Amino acid sequence: MKPFDVRRIRIDFPILHRKVYGKPLVYLDNAATALKPQRVIEAMLRYYSAETSNVHRGIYFLSETATNAYEGARILVQRFLNASNPGEIIFVRSTTEAINLVAASYGRTFLRERDEIILSVIEHHSNIVPWQILCNQIGAVLRIIPVNENGEMMMEEYEKLLSGKTKLVSVAHVSNAIGSINPVRKIIASAHQMGAAVLIDGAQAAAHLPVDVQDLDCDFYAFSGHKVYGPTGIGVLYGKSGFLEKMPPYQGGGEMIRTVTFEKTTYNSLPLKFEAGTPAIAEAIGLGAAIEYVSEIGLESIEAHEQKLLAYATEKIMAVPGARIIGTAREKSAILSFVIEGVHPHDVATIVDKEGVAIRAGHHCAMPAMQRFDVPATARASFALYNITEEVDSFIDSLYKIRTIFN
């Protein structure tokens, strides 16, 4: 494990040096989006100030420079996920678009009426709605894995759901709402025994856990750049070459073609077949810089640091009168979802904000999860590699002020 110096790391994030309402910013909404290190900002600025041009299409210096940077980012992502080749890395706008791509292309091509798709009750809406749309279009059926009181998937029930009708399983690696780390390796293995394909929503995992797609043996894996310290507007879909080669394009236009006539169009090779139009060039370059940054620090070291913060914050919040944690799985990422008796989560977030503490409140785009735990919403603090225990203390102190106000 690489040495981890959080004080040194914090210097890399310029926004951490600002104040909110006259107080130092305590940013604990990392599950929604992570802050950006200076390296990412500079990489994007360099493209816009010194390398601006379109990629793939020009034979002049700037275009070749931009193309090398863009495709270099793809190779960095390939290594980050341990994909077998760069063609398995598709640049998209977000995890959401990646899932929609698979639902539209793979789903409409290979699924039929009465085929079954398995999700879990703690999925993000982005891993529910695309499958509902697909089911409405082709007559497929959703099956849902329940979770226990701790927020852990009930694997016995999952095994019962699997059958010859199961054609696809799509679950989160980590729950964005409650932080549960799901047993994706077992989920994938069991699904494959039934001949089903598996998509893993890695939006909450890629920045916090080492991910090896070949070791997991998932068929698809998706994550968003902005949650792994990169820019918004860029995401990644990993897909096994054997699947991607058989899938039709998700969108039509420039770059994804090989030849076009009014009689027939032939499509480009991977990954360009799924990247129609001018891509998010600066964003991809920024993502590459973010991947480099995270890789140099080391995900094992990041995970260990975040787990210490989670344990520290969990112990502290349990002492706050009326506080109750939602999601107490044995395997958790650095997400702390909670409610305070008699106080709406929106009021919690509003009051702590005045203390300079940024947390999230709401259903977290996971309404079925909220219904499972019989709460309308939760407050959520989520930690990242730059957070420190002093920030946790500031957060907890602000919760005690809430108790004073509402008592």
Cα–Cα distance list, 288 to 91, 206, 264, 291, 294 (Å) = 11, 14, 36, 5, 10
175 closest CA partner among 198, 151, 145, 150: 151
* Interatomic CA distance for residues 114 and 136, integer angstroms: 11
* Interatomic CA distance for residues 28 and 180, integer angstroms: 18
Which residues are CB-contacts of 300 (< 8 A; sequence separation ≥ 6)? 1, 2, 210
Cα–Cα distance list, 136 to 107, 267, 301, 363 (Å) = 12, 28, 44, 25
218 is catalytic: no
* Interatomic CA distance for residues 153 and 141, integer angstroms: 20
343 closest CA partner among 365, 311, 321, 314: 321
* Interatomic CA distance for residues 141 and 375, integer angstroms: 27
DSSP code, position 53: S
211 closest CA partner among 329, 77, 404: 77
> Where are the strands (E) in 116-251, listed by range?
116-120, 141-145, 166-172, 197-201, 220-224, 235-239
DSSP code, position 15: G
DSSP code, position 106: I
* SS3 state of residue 191: helix
Q: Give the other-Cβ count within 10 Å of 3's Cβ.
A: 8
Catalytic residue, from 16, 20, 155, 365: name it. 365
Partners of residue 153 on adjacent β-strands = 147
DSSP code, position 4: -
Name the strand (E) or helix (H) holding 372: helix 367-372
- Catalytic residues, by residue number, are 365
